[in-house]
Chains A and B, each alone.
Chain A
Amino acid sequence: MNKFTISASPHIHSPVDTTFMMRGVIKALLPAVIAGVYFFRMYAVGVLAASIAGCVITEWLLRKTRRQEASLKDSSALLTGMLLALVLPPALPLWMAFLGGVVSIALGKEVFGGLGKNVFNPALLGRAFLMAAFPVALTTWTRPVSLDAVTTATPLGLAKFEHAVTPYAQLFLGNVGGCIGETSALALILGILYLLYHKIIDWRVPAAYIGTVALFSGVAWAAAPQLYAPPLFHILAGGLLIGAGFMATDPVTTPVTAKGRWVFGAGCGLITMTIRLWGGLPEGVMYSILCMNAVTPLINRYTRPRRYGGSNGG
């Protein structure tokens, strides 16, 4: 007989592979990158470059020295570097951004065994490290569209400590103080729509996350409008959109069940709002997602799908 390839079915596969998904997220981040570079100019370019370099070099080096298969081709290290830079302040010293990238990959990903095995979102773990190590640098904000380093406050900081509300138009476009990729709600929404359209992320996570934030802040605002900002403000300000669209939707560190993703998103929303309204910090997105990452295995266990044809079936 002639020789033909024998392999198990199925014999065809979806064109969407891991690299396609990673690059899809990178494409979806481009509007936020462009907005960041527009508002924060060379600062943004520098932090992006340093953070990406930290991630890519660390992954390459760790894989090389431990004689593991090279993995840069899947673009996930590049993505982590981008995500980290977008949640850092523009005027951060470049070596700190680089170090953040190193920590993201080394402690956030490779120490667990590489892509797919990490418990925490690598970019957020890197940011949490920087926040603990350099709290002042991580909370020093630059005024947008100014080439001199004039410090300013973020809309969330203003709302929390001075009860000052930033105009919505400014929040929407991103002409405010904040992290490089967080300020422009418009750019992030464009990216999230792209991800939803290509089914790279599950709509349930952002829906549950943003929905919970809206509900929580809505109740607080209705009860004490002089004290708390309205829901729309909480949705547009700070890291909520980048968190709900790009971090809480990271496949690796979030639940695999549909029900679990509702729980995950709602949990993120509750923790974020608890920190924002009553915590010592103005922003709680990062810690909320890291906390929920930790309970993801538990969520998976308790939200297993109903058995097909089982007692509740049909």
Chain B
Amino acid sequence: MKILTFPGGIHPPYNKDISIGEALRTAPPPETAIVPLSQHIGAPCRPAVTKGDEVSEGQVIGESPSFVSSLVHSPVSGKVQDIKKAFHPALGYTEAVFIERDPGKEPLKYTSCDSEDLTQKELIEKVKKAGIVGMGGAAFPTHVKLSVPEGKNIENLIINGAECEPYLTCDHILMTRKSAEIIKGIEILIRVLEPKNTYIAIEDNKKAAIFAFEKLIRESTRKEISAARVVPLETKYPQGGEKQLIKAISGKEVPPGGLPLDIGFLVQNVGTALAIHEAVEYDKPLIERVVTLSGDCLERPGNYHMRIGTTVKEIVEKLGIEFRQDPKKIIFGGPMMGIAQPGTEVPVLKNTSGILFLSESTAKDLEEKPCIRCAKCVDVCPVNLMPTEIMRNVKARRWEEAEALNVQDCMECGCCTYTCPARIPLVQYIKEGKTALLKKRK
């Protein structure tokens, strides 16, 4: 078994075993769901309901005329309590629909429908109707990604099961418990994109997932699937970054400012593949997902099916989460690129892969010391940047120099900050440089 990888990157402690052993459970639906109208890259939705409306599970509550946008559905049946600004885990206060769940209503049952004869356009339309976005983190509308522009060709489809962020195991658990359904989602992707090659990319710390997919491919009678390949990758952060996956699998590099599409690649997360299967096969909109609850503060970390719009507060109360120690930080996503939250009244979104409760000792505040030019940041940068040099120029407000150092190529993976022995928040300085350059250009 050849293990593929990319140059650079880091090996942080993974802490995945604490949440993977447990079963995949279902969190109770929220009493009050807070559903932000912007859960994707692109135009925010406008509310499609008004205060006081009765809504049913799966009903569209937010839509936008823009192409680059994604529908928002009601995660529960109930009544629209209010439409107002609420705290969004990534964007601060944005407009959200508050839905009070009606406990009298039975949860919806989704029935299978025949999708064998659907055309590519019809399949994409189903994905669009279900409001599917990239669930690995970026939340880019999936129907937009699948609508490959004229003249561009997808030769290689990569299914991203790398899951390189520490603590997170939501993709891992899906790959072992729902591998057959994911394969069906992959088949739909193959039908839409007609790639020459399909790769299922998984880090080699998830042997069970690698084994499960290899078995399914071997035993598959579908020609699309039996041509797919499982590619084991080195366990290294950020192996699951699009550019790193493509580099590891093909040796090719996405050009600066370009998209994987430009070199014939398309990357889809395994969770998204599952959502696509459910959308096409059952007309099920994206109103729930698997979220990893983990961190050193939790007595029992694990993975849960959760409705979109469930707040951390309700999760903690309803699931009876027990704490070993008081959390100092609550993080949406992984510890490398996740976002620290000010409180618990924050809802789960379509791209919330994990909620971490980290203690004082794990998420220390570190004092910035002088740079000793050790160049560890240069060595680990997966996109060939010199973070220390960029930092010096940003501090001195020399934006042209920062631009000459390709500051805009940074994908903010945070390897430089992680590895810096002087505890300099390098990626922060780089973001500052990127923002300043963007402003200047306008």
**Same assembly:** yes
Contacts of B328 in A (CB 8 A): 4-5
Known: A307-B409, A314-B251. A4 touches B421 (CB 8 A): no
Distance of A8 Cα from B166 Cα, bound (Å): 17
Distance of A257 Cα from B379 Cα, bound (Å): 8
Contacts of A5 in B (CB 8 A): 328-329, 340, 363, 365
Whether A21 lies near B340 (C-beta < 8 A) is no
Convert A1-42 into 0s and 1s, putting 1 for each residue whose CB lies closer than 8 angstroms to a CB of B.
111111111111110111011000000000000000000000
- Kindly name the residue among A14, A74, A308 whose own CB sees the greatest number of chain B CB atoms within 10 A: A308
Whether B414 lies near A9 (C-beta < 8 A) is yes
Interface-lining segment among A113-121, A181-189, A231-239, A275-283: A113-121
Contacts of B371 in A (CB 8 A): 116
B47 within 8 A of A: no
Known: A4-B330, A256-B388. A12 touches B418 (CB 8 A): yes
- Kindly name the residue among A20, A257, A314 whose own CB sees the greatest number of chain B CB atoms within 10 A: A314
Distance of A307 Cα from B385 Cα, bound (Å): 8
Q: Chain A interface secondary structure, helix, strand, loop or mixed?
A: loop
Interface-lining segment among A47-55, A169-177, A298-306: A298-306
Whether A6 lies near B370 (C-beta < 8 A) is no
A251 within 8 A of B: yes
Known: A4-B329, A12-B363. A116 touches B342 (CB 8 A): no
Contacts of A304 in B (CB 8 A): 386, 405
Contacts of A114 in B (CB 8 A): 370
B437 within 8 A of A: no
A310 within 8 A of B: yes
Distance of A313 Cα from B375 Cα, bound (Å): 22
B212 within 8 A of A: no
A9 shortest CB reach to chain B, Å: 5
A57 within 8 A of B: no
Smallest CB-CB separation from A76: which chain B residue? B372
Q: Which of A6, A20, A115, A300 contacts B389 (CB 8 A)?
A: A300
Q: Which of A10, A115, A258, A307 contacts B370 (CB 8 A)?
A: A115
Count class of interface residues, chain B = 35 or more
Known: A3-B342, A5-B340, A309-B253. A256 touches B373 (CB 8 A): yes
B383 within 8 A of A: yes
A183 shortest CB reach to chain B, Å: 29
Contacts of B337 in A (CB 8 A): 9-10
How many A-B Cβ pairs are below 8 Å?
Answer: 169
Distance of A3 Cα from B341 Cα, bound (Å): 9
Distance of A309 Cα from B412 Cα, bound (Å): 17
* Chain B, 218-262, CB within 8 A of any chain A CB: 243, 247, 250-256, 258
- Kindly name the residue among A5, A6, A300 whose own CB sees the greatest number of chain B CB atoms within 10 A: A5
* Chain B, 175-234, CB within 8 A of any chain A CB: none
B119 within 8 A of A: no
Distance of A16 Cα from B418 Cα, bound (Å): 10
Known: A251-B373, A252-B372, A252-B373. A307 touches B363 (CB 8 A): no
B72 shortest CB reach to chain A, Å: 24
Whether B414 lies near A10 (C-beta < 8 A) is yes
Distance of A152 Cα from B372 Cα, bound (Å): 39
Whether A17 lies near B422 (C-beta < 8 A) is yes
- Kindly name the residue among A8, A21, A252, A258 whose own CB sees the greatest number of chain B CB atoms within 10 A: A8
Convert B402-437 into 0s and 1s, putting 1 for each residue whose CB lies closer than 8 angstroms to a CB of A.
000110010010100111111101011001000000
A278 shortest CB reach to chain B, Å: 33
Whether A4 lies near B370 (C-beta < 8 A) is no
Whether B370 lies near A117 (C-beta < 8 A) is yes
Distance of A193 Cα from B388 Cα, bound (Å): 27
Whether A257 lies near B336 (C-beta < 8 A) is no
Smallest CB-CB separation from A310: which chain B residue? B256
Whether B388 lies near A9 (C-beta < 8 A) is no
Distance of A116 Cα from B420 Cα, bound (Å): 13
Whether B421 lies near A20 (C-beta < 8 A) is yes
Convert A58-85 into 0s and 1s, putting 1 for each residue whose CB lies closer than 8 angstroms to a CB of B.
0000000000000000100000000000
Known: A17-B421, A257-B378. A8 touches B388 (CB 8 A): no
Known: A2-B344, A8-B428, A12-B12. A256 touches B372 (CB 8 A): no
Beyond contacts A4-B343, A116-B372: 16 other A-B pairs, Cβ-Cβ < 8 A, are A3-B343, A4-B340, A7-B365, A9-B333, A11-B358, A12-B12, A12-B362, A116-B422, A202-B379, A251-B372, A251-B373, A306-B384, A309-B253, A309-B255, A310-B256, A313-B255
Interface residue ranges, B against A (CB under 8 Å): 10, 12-13, 87, 166, 243, 247, 250-256, 258, 263, 327-331, 333, 335-345, 356, 358, 362-366, 369-375, 378-379, 382-386, 388-389, 405-406, 409, 412, 414, 417-423, 425, 427-428, 431
In the complex, 8 of the A-B residue pairs with CB atoms within 8 angstroms, ordered by the A residue number, are A9-B338, A12-B418, A13-B364, A14-B420, A14-B421, A18-B422, A309-B256, A314-B253
7 shortest interchain CB distances as A-B pairs: A1-B343, A251-B374, A10-B414, A256-B375, A313-B253, A309-B253, A308-B383
